[in-house]
Structure 1
Amino acid sequence: MIPPTIEFASFQDVLDFIETKKAEFAQAPLFQFMQDSSISPLQRLGFSPCIAHFIMSFGDLNKYVFRDETSNFDLVQNAINEHTYEDDHHWHWFLRDLQVLGFDRPKSFVDTLRFLWGNDTCITRQLSYQLSAYTLNADPIVKMAAIEAIEATGNILFSHTTRVAQELQSITQQEYIYFGKFHLTVETGHAIRDDNSELKLASIPLSLEMRQLALDVVNDVFDLFTAWLNEMLIYAKLHPVQNWLSPTPDRV
């Protein structure tokens, strides 16, 4: 539920709302599935192929949608730009882990396209499209609100994948970069990692109209990512994973 309108507003209101939505997001059924030790750890990461479209698109979202280097005098947009340079290359880690996990299976180009744009992955694709709609040419405050919400969802998701990856690592002696601790250390849950800058962001005054726009986009982002988790869970349950080990991923 979006907080009621108040007389005075700041970006802290948006950050507080994100924390509330983050706590709700953490209760998603996918995370219960991922904590179920009766299921093999590899199967608990069985959604990995399903999320490829969004993970590979996320670099482009950072480069071409979130980033705007024509706004040299907007402090919020400048902070967003700096963040995009930290987030636009994580897909390399994802490709590496797909190989280590054994999901790099031979498939024709047509079959790959059919899978990426098939019914199993429709919400995954909508993530990129909807996030573009929310943020392209949006006011930097709205854009930052969306990015902070995305960061919050990532922090929860990767805290769970890290536990599963650590289980796998104890079995395979392989390191998992994207799904493991390495990635989690950069997914702090906030776009701005400097405490002083975070305080400055929180104190930015907002008009009541801008506050509402920011709260609305946060709500929409969490709804979208919650639907995505449900798609991931369905995929993991419907696609049994062969418990094989992949050779070292030197090809990426």
Structure 2
Amino acid sequence: MKEILALIEKRKQEFAQLPLFEYMRDKSIDPRQRLSWAPCAAPFIMNFGELNKYCFREEPASNPIQAIINKHTYEDDHHWLWFLEDLEKLELDKTLKFSDALRLLWSEEIKNTRWLNYELYRYAFTATPIQKLIIIEVTEATGNIMFSYAAEVGREIKELTQKECRYFADSHLSVETGHIIGSSDTKQFIDIIELSEETRQEAWELVEKLFECFGKFVNGLLLYTKSHKNFQEKHSLSLV
């Protein structure tokens, strides 16, 4: 299993080089604009709690790996509440007719977010505990990169507006460690898991496919952001 975790770390560092994160680091742009992709990410963020509850979690636990997964799902299934709070603080909480909200969420420009949901459910629904562990590790790795940059932007927003984010915040980053692994004993237990050659190959392919999915998702967020620049025009204040 150590080899698969090393692959995830390698792909994580490559993921961190995607253009969205360069955009999020650009302090010449209003920090609220740098998080204006939030509505595009809503289908994934709002769905993530249920992915944990209904796909990753399996009770009673069938084996020690599933027990580790179950514990993690209880830590990760409620973060969408923080997201809803931040939409208002970012001035992205627009009033829409219900039909317009549905039209937005199922629009062409948000298709990559919906596709990510479908792929995660597809892989997780019949996954073994080892495969679930890999899916969660990749999700944690990509989330850690995203929230490393988002928390920094959140600090800028607090300085600019005196409003403190909860989703795009250091407090959220602190629980998005990049790993499902908590204690050193758990890490050691996972590291020494022996995989058959067939299982190792399947795991390798799963990691590659998942990072492809998350890369497509993140690239879609940047496209959404660049096509919704009205926020930058509406607010003249920025941090440089």
What TM-score do the two structures reach when normalised by structure 1? 0.90
The amino acid that maps onto 1:33 is Y
The amino acid that maps onto 1:19 is E
1:13 matched to 2:15: no
Partner of residue 97 from structure 1, selected from 61, 66, 86? 86
The amino acid that maps onto 2:134 is A
SS at the partner of 1:39?
A: coil
CA distance in 1, matches of 2:164, 2:206: 36
What TM-score do the two structures reach when normalised by structure 2? 0.95
CA distance in 1, matches of 2:62, 2:153: 43
The amino acid that maps onto 2:46 is M
1:67 matched to 2:48: no
- Determine if contact 1:51/1:124 at 8 Å carries over to the other structure: yes
- Cα gap change, 1:109 to 1:244, in 2 (>3 Å): farther
SS at the partner of 2:177?
A: coil
- Determine if contact 1:42/1:243 at 8 Å carries over to the other structure: no
Aligned-pair CA distance for 1:128:
1.1
- Runs of 4+ more than 4 Å apart: none
CA distance in 1, matches of 2:147, 2:62: 34
Aligned-pair CA distance for 1:195:
1.6
Could you say which residue in structure 2 is the equivalent of 1:229?
218
CA distance in 2, matches of 1:42, 1:243: 9
- Cα gap change, 1:126 to 1:100, in 2 (>3 Å): same
Aligned residues between the structures: 234
Which structure 2 residues correspond to residues 114-125 of structure 1 after superposition, within 5 A? 114-125=103-114
SS at the partner of 1:206?
A: coil
Could you say which residue in structure 2 is the equivalent of 1:149?
138
SS at the partner of 1:115?
A: helix
CA offsets 1:177-207 (integer angstroms, 9 cap, x no match): 1011110000000012112101111111111
Could you say which residue in structure 2 is the equivalent of 1:50?
40
CA offsets 1:135-165 (integer angstroms, 9 cap, x no match): 1121110110111011000000000001111
Give me the identity figure in percent: 47
The amino acid that maps onto 1:239 is H
1:243 matched to 2:232: no
CA offsets 1:204-229 (integer angstroms, 9 cap, x no match): 11111111111111111111111111
CA offsets 1:57-100 (integer angstroms, 9 cap, x no match): 00010000111114x34111111111001000000000000111
Partner of residue 181 from structure 1, selected from 161, 170, 178? 170
CA distance in 2, matches of 1:79, 1:209: 23
SS at the partner of 1:13?
A: helix
Q: Could you tell me which runs of 5 or more consecutive residues in structure 2 were left unpaired when the two chains were aligned.
A: none
Aligned-pair CA distance for 1:120:
1.2
Of Structure 1 and Structure 2, which has the larger fraction of its residues in helix?
2
Aligned residues: CA RMSD: 1.3
